Amino acid sequence: MSSLVIKLRKGVTEINWDKYDYHFITRVEIFSNDLAAINCPTDFPTDRIKSVELNCPALKKLPSFLGSCLRLEILKIKNCVQINFDNHEYDFDVLKTLQLANLELKEVPKWLAICHELETLDLQGNAICELPDFLKELKAIRRINLDHNRLTHLPNFLKDLPKLNHLSVDGNQFDEDEVLRINQVFKITI
């Protein structure tokens, strides 16, 4: 995989794309404390991109190029607390790994319902209180990380996901009865 890693210094609020050879990349990682928007050039190779990682706390919206990344298999978005995920709809047909960590999400984004190839879902460090029913349609899912959210109950449909072999739920708000039920139903210890 040909990678482009961009780490912007403090105070830099724009990517100078002229500094980078991005034409043949399949993976892009962007790290910046002060970047509020990612505006890619028109010749950005969205048809080649398979992996995107963003760690940009000041980012206000997801970059528009994501909607054109039809080969995207890995998407990691961390610490981008200002983004509203409800306003986005994506068609990630081949997405295998999704990390939406430390984003202060209150609910699971609805566009996940169409990510039928998803194998790894990492939603750690958010403010999610309830899991939506559409997660039961993710039949390819193998790993789910829900650590450090605000869950008080785990839905039983999680145990019916045929390929799920890792479920992590540490640091949630389960009462003693729910912890006991989780131990019995899911065979995991919290």
Q: 53 vs 31, 50, 100, 101, 134, CA distance in Å?
A: 8, 10, 10, 11, 25
CB 66 within 8 A of CB 52: yes
Mean pLDDT of 73-83: 95
pLDDT tens string 15-62: 999 999 999 999 999 999 999 999 999 999 999 999 999 999 999 989
pLDDT tens string 129-143: 999 999 999 999 999
Range of the domain at 76: 3-186
The per-residue pLDDT of the chain, averaged, comes to 93
Confidence of residue 85 (pLDDT cuts 50, 70, 90): confident
> How far is 30 from 152, CA to CA, in rounded Å?
34
Number of domains in the chain: 1
In CATH, what number is assigned to the domain containing residue 60?
3.80.10.10
Read off the DSSP letter of residue 86: G
Q: 157 vs 26, 99, 116, 176, CA distance in Å?
A: 35, 21, 16, 21
Confidence of residue 173 (pLDDT cuts 50, 70, 90): very high
